[in-house]
């Protein structure tokens, strides 16, 4: 049986050909490309059009654009980082189609940093053996990509936008094919409150779920709404246990909550060193790439050093860069640090790992199709198989771009073949879906505390069992909270946290960014496979 969030019946209805949920690089790329194919499109976004995770991406976008680099080398680096769980066909698709996708992004209007000869400046980041990371504005790549895509969207009067809208649940027709979504629009106007968008296809590009943890690099809107919708709709969700913790997030204190400032991998790519309070470079000897090892290795090394020295953070030392390099190469990071009273030009930056990226998500094929007909997913909300057990640095923007183009091409092909008909809503199924009791808004903090305590960088059977019990205790069907944005978000976080914890408890090994202290070794014999939800189906 499918489930749905407890919500009022839709008070208004509209329609389009393709409804896209999310306005980052993935969502806007889908929308722009289906419009080129002559289809109507509507973009639904939770806040403002440019207020998602894409604009916060500092590092860059990885692609084999440089002399001597090849898609095959990019593929090998990605497979190594993914720790045995990448889908090689998906990775090959990413790295072979990636360079041209970046060039098309430039044609849309994105301006990357260039050298004196007008060539794109390429840098290195963790896990890459070549300089293949394209940047914009030094450390403002995501912001530049989002600027260019938003400008293109706003230049298309036929592309409809609904801002300040929280997607609730999937609508389907009598055959189980996606036929739209329900949503709640915050504010006053012709469309406010709960409504419905009817569509021939639905694309989820709603971003991540970092807010399930107390400290994250994700914006406040990243509450796992897309994965929650998919779980309730019966779509397969996989690899949720693989949450990447970025090794170098500005440490603002043990009690800091919500979005924390990221100190990009690119800082280490340019030669900054990780040191402890005594100035010892503890990554030397840990991996051939030292500070540029894949993120899971660096995060674990930092965490081990913190535990061994009974401290709450390590340091990133880039004082040897000098003021000019900080100001021109990393202006965003420099400003963020100085806002919090730290000057990287003259002192090391205190850093600690924080939740950064969900390598798992809604399972898709190479065309972005999920296991529910007519429902597509791309970007961080999706699991294409590219990232495996640990995402390679700067592959996320590229994945969103490449697979968004593939979804749009699939939809265009269906339309051209007359196989994208208008859909109706199966009202009987909508009414039969079991309503999920809502958690009170204050549960959000409790969920984050439980997950950060027992299911973050270091996990064990004991910690995960305690987390699962704590999460179960928060759900009180006898006393559900009334519908509101805050209670819908808390309920999405709770559903995602519960599924993530269950998967982490099942995977009795250490692999990629999943670290079990009670099972410290990688076990290919028993665990070189995926864990898919709903569990037991």
CATH homologous superfamily of 3-242+359-430: FAD/NAD(P)-binding domain (3.50.50.60)
Cis peptide bond prior to 465, omega within 30° of 0: no
Whole-number pLDDT of residue 58 = 66
Low-confidence residues of the chain, pLDDT below 50? Answer: 535-537
**396-416 and 141-154 helices cross at what angle (nearest 10)?**
20
Q: Which CATH number fits domain 433-530: 1.10.287.950, 1.20.1070.10, 1.20.58.100, 3.40.50.720?
A: 1.20.58.100
Instruction: Count how many residues are written for the chain.
Output: 537
What's the pLDDT score for residue 379?
A: 97
How much is the pLDDT for 55? 74
180: region left, alpha or beta (phi > 0 left; psi from -120 to 50 alpha): left
Residue 216, token pair as written in the block: 């994250």
The CATH number that domain 249-354 falls under is: 3.90.700.10
How does DSSP assign 213-265, residue by residue? Answer: SSEESS-TT-S-HHHHHHHHHT--EE-TT-EEEEEEEE---TT--EE--B--H
- The pLDDT tens digits for 454-475 are 999 999 999 999 999 999 999 9
Write the CB contacts of 420 (distance below 8 Å, at least 6 apart in sequence).
17, 39, 200, 201, 411, 414
Angle at 47 (CA atoms; ends 41, 49), nearest 5 degrees: 50
DSSP state of 325: H
H-helix or E-strand spanning residue 526: helix 524-527
Return all residues near 512 (Cβ < 8 A) that are at least 6 apart: 81, 82, 83, 85, 242, 296, 359, 388, 389, 390
Task: Look at residues 531, 142, 136, 209 and name the one whose alpha carbon lies nearest to residue 356.
Answer: 209
Q: What residue spans in the chain does CATH classification 3.90.700.10 cover?
A: 249-354
d(Cα 131, Cα 468) in Å, to the nearest integer? 42
Structure tokens at 121: 């400046």
CA-to-CA distance for 288 and 286, rounded, in angstroms?
A: 7
406 is catalytic: no
Please say whether the beta carbons of 381 and 363 come within 8 A. Answer: no
Q: Where are the alpha helices (DSSP H) in 37-158?
A: 71-81, 88-108, 141-154
pLDDT value of residue 188:
61
CATH 1.20.58.100 segments of the chain:
433-530
Helical axes 88-108 vs 71-81, angle rounded to 10° = 120
Where do the CATH 3.50.50.60 domains begin and end in the chain?
3-242+359-430
- 50, 151 contact by CB (below 8 A): no
- pTM of the full predicted structure? 0.93
φ/ψ of 153, rounded to 5, equals -65, -45
Q: What is the pLDDT of residues 81-105, one digit of tens each?
A: 999 999 999 999 999 999 999 999 9
pLDDT at residue 535, rounded to an integer: 45
* 8 Å CB contact between 167 and 225: yes
CB-CB contact of 436 with 474 (8 Å): no
Catalytic residue among 295, 369, 459, 511: 295
Burial (CB < 10 A; 0-12, 13-18, 19+), residue 483, is: middle
Nearest to 90 by CA among 387, 390, 410: 387
């Amino acid at each position: 049986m499918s489930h749905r969030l407890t919500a009022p019946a839709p008070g208004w209805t509209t329609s389009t050909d393709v409804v896209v949920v999310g306005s980052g690089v993935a969502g806007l790329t889908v929308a722009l490309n289906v419009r080129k194919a002559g289809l109507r499109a509507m973009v639904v976004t939770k806040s403002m059009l440019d207020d998602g995770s894409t604009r916060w991406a500092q590092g860059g976008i990885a692609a084999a654009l440089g002399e001597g680099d090849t898609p095959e080398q990019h593929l090998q680096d990605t497979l190594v980082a993914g720790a045995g769980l990448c889908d090689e066909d998906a990775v090959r698709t990413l790295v072979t189609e990636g360079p041209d996708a970046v060039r098309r992004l430039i044609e849309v209007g994105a301006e990357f940093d260039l050298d004196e000869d007008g060539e794109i400046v390429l840098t290195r980041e963790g896990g890459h053996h070549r300089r293949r990371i394209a940047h914009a504005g030094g450390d403002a790549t995501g912001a530049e990509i989002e600027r260019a895509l938003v400008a293109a969207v706003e230049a298309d009067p036929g592309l409809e936008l609904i801002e300040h809208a929280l997607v609730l649940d999937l609508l389907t027709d009598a055959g189980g094919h996606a036929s739209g979504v329900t949503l709640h629009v915050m504010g006053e106007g012709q469309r406010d409150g709960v409504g419905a968008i009817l569509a021939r296809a639905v694309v989820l590009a709603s971003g991540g779920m970092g807010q399930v943890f107390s400290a994250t690099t994700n914006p406040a809107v990243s509450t796992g709404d897309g994965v929650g919708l998919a779980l309730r709709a019966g779509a397969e969700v996989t690899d949720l246990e693989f949450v990447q913790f970025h090794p170098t997030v500005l440490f603002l204190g043990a009690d800091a909550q919500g979005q924390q400032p990221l100190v990009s991998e690119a800082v280490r790519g340019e030669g900054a060193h990780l040191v402890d309070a005594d100035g010892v470079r503890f990554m030397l000897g840990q991996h051939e790439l030292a500070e540029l090892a894949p993120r899971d290795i660096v995060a674990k090394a930092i965490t081990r050093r913190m535990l061994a020295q009974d401290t709450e953070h390590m340091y990133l030392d880039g004082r040897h860069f000098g003021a000019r390099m900080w100001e021109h190469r990393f202006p965003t990071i420099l400003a963020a640090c100085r806002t919090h009273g730290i000057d990287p030009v003259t002192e090391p930056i205190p850093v600690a790992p924080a939740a950064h990226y969900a390598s798992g998500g809604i399972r898709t094929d190479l065309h972005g199709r999920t296991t529910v007909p007519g429902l597509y997913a791309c970007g961080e909300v999706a699991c294409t198989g590219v990232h495996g057990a640990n995402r390679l640095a700067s592959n996320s923007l590229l994945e969103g771009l490449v697979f968004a183009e593939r979804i749009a091409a699939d939809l265009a092909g269906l339309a051209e073949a007359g196989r994208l008909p208008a859909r109706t809503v199966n009202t009987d199924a909508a009414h039969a879906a079991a309503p999920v009791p809502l958690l009170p808004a204050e549960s959000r903090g409790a969920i984050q505390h439980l997950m950060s305590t027992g299911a973050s960088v270091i996990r064990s059977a004991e910690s995960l069992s305690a987390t699962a019990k704590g999460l179960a205790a928060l759900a009180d069907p006898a006393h559900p909270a009334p519908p509101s944005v805050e209670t819908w978000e808390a309920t999405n976080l709770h559903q995602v946290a519960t599924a993530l914890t269950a998967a982490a408890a099942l995977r009795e090994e250490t692999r990629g960014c999943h670290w079990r202290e009670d099972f410290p070794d990688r076990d290919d014999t028993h665990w070189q496979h995926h864990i898919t939800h709903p569990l037991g189906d």
